[in-house]
Amino acid sequence: MPGLEARRVTKRFGEREVLRDLSLNVQPGHVYGLLGSNGAGKTTAINIITGLLAQDDGTVTLDDTPVDTAARCVLGMVPQEVAVYHHLTCRENLRFFGSLYRIRRHELDSRVGEVITLCQLDDYADTAVSALSGGWQHRLNLAVGIVHRPKVLLLDEPTTGQDIEARHTLWRVIASLRDQGTAIMLTTHMMEEAESVCHTVGILHRGCIEREGTLDQLYATIPAAELAEIETDDEPALERRVEELGLGLRHYGGKLTILLPSRTTLSDVVARLGRVPIKSLALRPVGLQHVFFDVMQTRA
């Protein structure tokens, strides 16, 4: 099924090109993660998809139909900042925002009850938003975005600044909506979040997607079966020895990392490094953070 698709979307602000030929597809029942550092263009992409911002080139379609005013009624949006009325209760906010989608009165109460339970807001349903902590306000923010049962849900860094319990609640809600067939696009700079919930991840860097695929496909772009993170007081000696062994050496997140062609043991790595002084050594599986750092280094 086509789902939500962006094709060669470009956006400029003056001479600055924020997005360049951005193309992605979010299928029903799947979660697409748009991963990038701050300023990579993630929020700009969300704003264009929702129609809040006009692109300079390219198209955005929903089920092969241009996303116009009518199509936006089947989109759900959860922004970074809490966008609800603080003087209203959670239930009143949900009823108000649900009414904007012209949900019939008898159905609206049922929808509101569903999302209150799904987002675990039952104990605070009739509490004014101003009396809630930031974490509970973010849960309401999510509930508002899904009260109309959207076909496509867009989440713009929804767990930034939230505690681990709030993050796991969001991931559980995402899984539930995914299983119901919702197409979900999530922008984030958190590797753990992308690895926990996404089917497909696109790494956005300087306005375009530099690498895209399933997690396994992305891990496979790192030429290693395992990684050895090492601290040493003699980096030149380490570099010489790694070159002699025919291995690769990278700086991933400020850590010297040896690319190992097969899984091994710490004692084997120590033996192969010989007289290179070692302060610390750890073996790690290839993860999304390594793919991300690899893209940043390659395209720096």
pLDDT, one tens digit per residue, over 68-109 is 765 678 899 999 889 999 999 999 999 999 999 888 888 999
118 plus 170 within the same structural domain: yes
Q: Domain residues for 255? A: 226-298
Strands 152-156 and 183-188: parallel
Q: Among residues 172, 188, 214, which one ends one of the domains? A: 214
**Overall number of domains in the chain:** 2
* 180 φ, ψ (degrees, to nearest 5): -85, 0
282 plus 201 within the same structural domain: no
Does the residue 220 lie in any domain?
A: no
Question: In this model, does residue 189 exceed pLDDT 90?
Answer: no
157 plus 32 within the same structural domain: yes
- Give the pLDDT mean for 198-204: 95
64 plus 112 within the same structural domain: yes
Q: Among residues 157, 188, 214, which one ends one of the domains? A: 214
Supply the pTM of this predicted model: 0.90
Output the domain CATH number for residue 68.
3.40.50.300
204 plus 239 within the same structural domain: no
267 plus 181 within the same structural domain: no
pLDDT confidence of 1, banded at 50, 70, 90? low
